[in-house]
Amino acid sequence: MKTPTNTCESTCRHQVGAVLPVALIFLVILTIIGVTAMNTSVLDTMMASNTQFQTRALGDAEVVLVEGEDDVVAITTDAVPLDWNTTGDYYYDATATSTETIDPSDWDWTFTTQTAADGASLYVVQYGGREPIPGNTGGYGGSVAYGGAGGGAAGSYVYVFQVTTQADSSRGARRIVQSVYVTDQEP
């Protein structure tokens, strides 16, 4: 009887152990892909959160803008004339004869602003003055220079207000929103 020869002796001598380095390289590549995916996921979450805070601040500013416009309606329907030159209030005269101006980007919002009902948002109201209505029957605002009778007929002018609001979110997002409010009622 013939004894079987061990085939492992001849083939085992020729193996060099390439499986271990290939497996380690494969694990390193998978680890890099996993870490990159995790970092991308964290960045996406942070961007989504930031967008949420910015949107919240914008929504709050728009709500306060409506509150400021309601304040303008109250001003124009009030029988008591408003003193636009009173210091310490949140009304500013922005007509050509006034020196009061508001630049929302560098203005100190902690001084002379009206705090809205939410307790965090602020608004100011600027009075832009009286503007003639083009195309009315008394000429351009009733002005003699534009062919009108002069002096301006009743209803030939509008009164312009600019409402500026600022709202901050809990994470520091800040939005400044402005609107121009035009009415035919004199303040």
Residue 119, phi then psi, degrees to nearest 5 = 85, -10
Number of domains composing the chain = 1
Confidence of residue 166 (pLDDT cuts 50, 70, 90): confident
Is 70 exceeded by the pLDDT of residue 79?
A: no
Q: How far apart are CA 64 and CA 125, in angstroms?
A: 12
Whole-structure pTM value: 0.63
Q: How far apart are CA 146 and CA 135, in angstroms?
A: 10
State percent of the chain over pLDDT 70: 61
Is 50 exceeded by the pLDDT of residue 57?
A: yes
Instruction: Please indicate, yes or no, if residue 51 is contained in any of the structural domains.
Output: yes
Instruction: Please indicate, yes or no, if residue 134 is contained in any of the structural domains.
Output: yes
Contact 181, 69 (CB under 8 A): yes
Q: Kindly state the average pLDDT of the residues 63-74.
A: 85
Task: Name the DSSP letter for residue 2.
Answer: P
Q: What angle is formed at CA 62 by the lines to CA 181 and CA 180, rounded to 5 degrees?
A: 15
Residues 6+ apart with CB under 8 A from 147: 139, 140
Instruction: Please indicate, yes or no, if residue 129 is contained in any of the structural domains.
Output: yes
Task: Name the DSSP letter for residue 88.
Answer: T
Residue 34 bridge partners (DSSP): none
Query: 139 or 19, which is more confident?
Result: 19
Domain, as residue range, for 50: 23-139+154-183
The pLDDT tens digits for 122-159 are: 788 888 888 887 766 554 444 444 444 444 455 578 88
Confidence of residue 12 (pLDDT cuts 50, 70, 90): low
